[in-house]
A = this chain, B = another copy of it.
Amino acid sequence: MNKPETPNALFQRRLNVLSPSYYHHYDDPLTAVRAKGVTIWDDTGKAYLECYNNVPSVGHCHPNVVGALTHQASQINAHSRYLHDNIVTYAERVIATLPDEIDTCVFVCSGTEANALAYDIARTVTGNRGVIVSDGAYHGNALAVADFSDYQLQAPSTPNFVRSIPLPCAKLTGPEASAAATPAIEGLAQSEHGLAMAMIDSIFDGPGIYTAAPGYLPQLADTVRGQGGLMVMDEVQSGLTRLGDNMWGFMDSGIVPDIVTMGKPMGAGYPLAIVAAKRSIFEAFAETRSYFNTFGGTPVAGAVGNAVLDVVQEETILESVGRVGRELTFGLNTLKDQFGFVGEVRGKGVFQGMEIVTDQQSHHPDRTKAKAIVNDMRRAGVLISACGMHGNVLKVRPPLVFSESNADQLLTTLAEVMDHHH
């Protein structure tokens, strides 16, 4: 299957059979043929340090995960209408990492499916339709979810049952940002739609990697609940230790959500996502609605999920993420001091962003330079990306097993590349 082929030939074949909605990273697309831990090799044998992908959470092709996948796939992979220990054990283990009140699970295949189900539940349980999201939020690609993903600016106009609220940022503290959200929440609750839920991230990727600053989430949750809505935390990006202080990002703020959605990193590449909630919420949903997901909660999904949790525990990944995250924060801020075209450095744990601007006075976003740095980094053997409203925020979001020496290599290469753009 992986016969050498000129990248252009493969790229042309791809253009012929895949939708034009597909796109690729880098000016010169990367043909990725092998990966292990935090290294990806292309079709010429060149190795890259992986600083971008969150899905291979415990590292690409972790032998314990591949082993669990292989073993279970060779035993049985039926759906959840038969009993099987794997998914029950996995549910028990996931729940044990969450606040006591969040005691029940449903399994699905993707973060999109998890967020779509969370909304379906919120709509059914509250009888309301309105959704609060944060500015620039992305919660999935399916129709119902895309409707309330504020990020897709090119999409048809946002439906009027969705309102977006400001994020905490340099100019707005957590309490200020949540106070600024109150009019939108109250307005939606009092509209014909009513308030079904707020769906909020613990780290705000789409708009450019902002964190939920202290004081933001608790007050927001109070306001949302005071207006009859559910507080849904989307942990698809921030979950499974990524922010370095806790297993789940919302725990940094001490709140207890009504619903938590989990996705990408949970299966380390296997399509595995979860909706966890208070039992009373699922009970209210089940009164009027059935839900079945063919591929959600299979024995293979459970085996993979359990293997990933094993690795997270055995390799003490939470501690490692905290340590490496502090090194990244320090190193990126050092680069900010060195280079006049760096704006803010933001993020937490192994989810970091560095704004590229024309200069630190005007703070004008420099998308062109950010893109050039991303492509030069790729040439130098380090894979990062850019994100944000203006596409000017360098995004560093490696597998959770990213080590201090990996961070050194990233920072050293970044310094060299940035020096060329000085």
Contact = CB atoms under 8 A, between A and B. Distances in A.
Contacts of A289: 21, 152, 154-155
A75 B117 contact: no
A109 B273 CA distance: 12
Given A104-B18, A105-B19, A141-B293, A81 B25 contact: yes
A1 B156 contact: no
A298 B113 CA distance: 18
A155 B66 CA distance: 40
B292 A141 contact: yes
B11 A80 contact: no
Interface string A129-172: 00000000000011110100000101110000000000000000
A88 B290 contact: no
Given A55-B294, A117-B142, A293-B141, A285 B73 contact: no
A405 interface: no
B70 A66 contact: yes
A122 to B, nearest CB: 10
A313 interface: no
A183 interface: no
Given A77-B60, A111-B294, A154-B289, A88 B33 contact: no
A375 interface: no
Interface string A202-227: 00000000000000000000000000
A112 B20 CA distance: 22
Contacts of A264: 294
A83 B31 contact: yes
Interface string A27-51: 0011111110000100000000000
Nearest to A93: B17
Contacts of A55: 78-79, 294-295
B141 A285 contact: no
Interface in A231-253: none
So how many copies of this chain end up in the complex?
Answer: 2
A23 B81 contact: yes
A29 B88 contact: no
A69 interface: yes
A92 B32 CA distance: 19
Contact of A143 (B29, B123, B155, B269): B123
Nearest to A385: B81
Contact of A76 (B33, B87, B293): B33
Nearest to A25: B81
Contacts of A123: 143
A85 interface: yes
Contact of A32 (B69, B84, B292): B84
A53 to B, nearest CB: 7
Interface string A93-115: 00100000001111001111100
Contacts of A187: none
Contacts of A5: 85
A349 interface: no
B69 A109 contact: no
A248 to B, nearest CB: 17
A25 B298 contact: no
Given A78-B40, A113-B110, A294-B264, A14 B83 contact: yes
Contacts of A300: 269
A302 B32 CA distance: 14
Contact of A105 (B18, B91, B298): B18
A100 to B, nearest CB: 13
Interface string A279-298: 00011011011111111011
Contact of A109 (B30, B110, B283): B110
